[in-house]
Amino acid sequence: MSFETVRADALEYLRSDTLDTVHCFSTRLGGVSEGHLASLNLGIHRGDRPRSVLENYRRLGAAAGFGLHDLAFTRQTHSDVVRTVTRADRGRGLFFPVAGECDALITRERGVALAVFSADCGTVLLYDPAVPAIGAVHAGWRGTALGIVKRAADAMREQFGCDPKNIRAALGPCISRCCFETDRDVPDAMLAALGTDALDAIERDGEKFHVDLKLLNAVWLRRAGVERIDVCPECTCCRPDRFWSHRKAGERRGSLAAIIELPERP
């Protein structure tokens, strides 16, 4: 299992060879946004020109294989809420409002492109080729402590009949252990949620701690019974030239997106 970079002219995105369906993890390269949002900003609430955001999605979709009107967005609040969406939800977020907060989307319907957003937080895409069914998860440290990715995998099992052993997971670029320096509240939350299984993901550095969100979400996935897990090695904070990073840029930054779809035709 591995991640690869896909290039289409100036556009770049990442994909995992464990997900044999339409999907992508965006970078900040290859769009039309300007100034501090240059150039592939996918956030609709970052102060960007709406036509620029639409063009960015059009370019990414043309390269990755999804359409503008297929997209269904989240309203992310660092919760553990998982929402099941259908074709009736296509366009929510980009063309009309999202219905309620959630940090994970799941579907078994074709032609629905699930999108979650980040600028250091973890993003996880799930795919069960047997049902088939898909999921997209936003997992910041609060969502990770709440086990949002396990809740999404469990929801796929409960609602669609997915066998966890058939679910494949790809953990996209996010802030890594090297840069995710925290106070005690973050490791305490992880230890409360995962017990000693969290210890390998926590490293003390004086009065501070370094925490590995990717490893923690992999622990949650294994608890859900998911065995095929691909982890992107990229750190968004180490590479602000390639990825949007809130820790590096604060509010003067765009948003990355992780998107997955079951195409209309298998």
Domains of the chain from N-terminus onward: 3-175+228-261 (3.60.140.10)
How confident is the model at residue 99, as a pLDDT? Answer: 80
Q: Collapse the DSSP code of 104 into the 3-class scheme (helix H, G, I; strand E, B; otherwise coil) and give the result.
A: strand
User: What average pLDDT score do residues 88-95 get?
Assistant: 96
**What does the alpha-carbon distance between residue 88 and residue 232 come to, in Å, rounded to a whole number?**
32
Place of tokens 């960007």: 48
pTM exceeding the 0.85 threshold for the entire prediction? yes
Task: Give strand pairing partners of 82.
Answer: 104
How confident is the model at residue 240, as a pLDDT? Answer: 97
User: What average pLDDT score do residues 208-218 get?
Assistant: 98
pLDDT digits (tens, 9 = 90+) for 123-139: 999 999 999 999 999 99
Kind of pairing, strands 22-26 and 256-261?
antiparallel
% of the chain surpassing 70 pLDDT:
100
Retrieve residue 36's tokens: 């501090």
**What does the alpha-carbon distance between residue 142 and residue 52 come to, in Å, rounded to a whole number?**
31
User: What average pLDDT score do residues 204-230 get?
Assistant: 98
pLDDT band at residue 54 using 50, 70 and 90 as cut-offs: very high
pLDDT band at residue 249 using 50, 70 and 90 as cut-offs: very high
pLDDT digits (tens, 9 = 90+) for 138-149: 999 999 999 999
